[in-house]
Amino acid sequence: MSNPFIFLNSINVTKENIMRDTENDELAEKDYNAFMVNRGLSYFYDTVIHANEMNHYHELDNKLQYEFLFHGIRKKKRFSKWFKPTEDADFEAVKEYYEYNNHKTLQALSVLSEFQIKIIKNKLEKGGT
């Protein structure tokens, strides 16, 4: 049961408490990943405050956090795609060419022209098969 989407589904849609009266309540509490559940709830305007409140009280037991969210959030079908960072070819090329960290690379990208970035990419191009 270590999948955080099971807990999110329980909190949002089914309203079936999966930490009480189960075969192994301790295992369910151990499998609860508060960070991932709070992240999943942070995508919606009506649950972001609950998720933020649990972030403030991260030291609470998993069962208490789950119960707060379970009883505090109304039943509603919620779905959104999870944010995943995209890879930027220009960023990676400049970072590799100058051997900069992420912060320095962003600064360099703000002053480099498209032509200069194209030259950098050509110099980094590895030929052959």
**3-state per-residue secondary structure call for the chain:** CCCHHHHHHHHHHHCCCCCCCCCCHHHHHHHCCHHHHHHHHCCCCCCHHHHHHHHHCCCCCHHHHHHHHHHHCCCCCCCCCCCCCCCCHHHHHHHHHHCCCHHHHHHHHHHCCHHHHHHHHHHHCCCCC
Whole-angstrom distance, CA of residue 33 vs CA of residue 45 = 21
Whole-angstrom distance, CA of residue 29 vs CA of residue 63 = 6
Q: Are 33 and 45 in contact (CB under 8 A)?
A: no
The predicted structure's pLDDT at residue 95 = 92
* Residues of the chain predicted below pLDDT 70: 1-2, 86, 128-129
| pLDDT tens digit sequence for 77-108 | 988 777 777 678 899 999 999 999 999 999 99
Whole-angstrom distance, CA of residue 106 vs CA of residue 109 = 5
The predicted structure's pLDDT at residue 4 = 83
The predicted structure's pLDDT at residue 88 = 84
The predicted structure's pLDDT at residue 128 = 64
The predicted structure's pLDDT at residue 30 = 86
The predicted structure's pLDDT at residue 126 = 81
User: Which residue, among 26, 49, 30, has the nearest Cα to 38 in the 3D structure?
Assistant: 49
